Structure 1
Amino acid sequence: MNAALKRFRIVAWIVGTFLILLMFVAMPLKYFGGNDFLVTAISPIHGLCYMVYLVLAFHLTQQAGWKFWPQTVGLMLGGTIPVYSFFVERWAHRKILAEHPQAADPKIRTEESV
């Protein structure tokens, strides 16, 4: 669980950063400045990262035992709205730690594993 959470958090930040760059830097440059270089460079990177994000989000929700609706779908939509992935990542992190305290530190042993 700890590794899945860590991977998801890293990719959520990457996807969020590229989406912000795309929406608030590259798109205005394309439509107001006539320069589409950044859009052609950032769009495929964000698309690839978002596909990885979807897989990792699904994997995390399966490990956490969450329902498909609304937790999994909500988590997967995190990379589609600028800045939303940061909020979703933080929400998922808090929820995972509340439900699975052993995810905070792999050295913490639960009563079940003793």
Structure 2
Amino acid sequence: MDNSIKAFRIISVLEAISFLVLLLIAMPLKYIWDMPEMVQIVGMAHGILFVLYVIGAYWMYEKLNWSFKTLIIVVICSVLPLGPFYADNKYLPKNKAA
């Protein structure tokens, strides 16, 4: 598998996990137990990963000759909690070395 696709896949998974940790762990800690520290840490990591995901999506758009519609769908997936997993499964080439 191409290294750029592998890199985007890793960023995609990390972005999705960071979003889930932010929503399911950090936000309840902040708003239920008044512990905002986790949101600051996870929020910063998620923000960086989100930007890398969007840049990577554009990179894949050019590399894989996606249509503009596919690019928009993949970018929209970045704001859905499990969206990057869907985008990975639907739009990235499968690993042929199994």
TM, length-normalised to structure 1? 0.77
Gaps of 5+ in 2: none
**How far did 1:11 drift?**
0.4
* 2:18 is aligned with 1:24: no
What letter is aligned with 1:88? A
What letter is aligned with 2:91? A
**How far did 1:66 drift?**
1.3
Larger radius of gyration: 1
SS in 2 for 1:33: coil
Segments ≥4 residues shifted beyond 6 Å: none
Gaps of 5+ in 1: 98-102, 106-114
On the 8 A contact 1:19/1:79 being kept in 2, the answer is no
Alignment of 1:18-97 (within 5 A): 18-68=18-68, 70-93=69-92, 96-97=93-94
Identity %: 22
**How far did 1:4 drift?**
2.0
Aligned length: 97
Alignment root-mean-square deviation, CA: 1.7
- Higher fraction of helix: 1
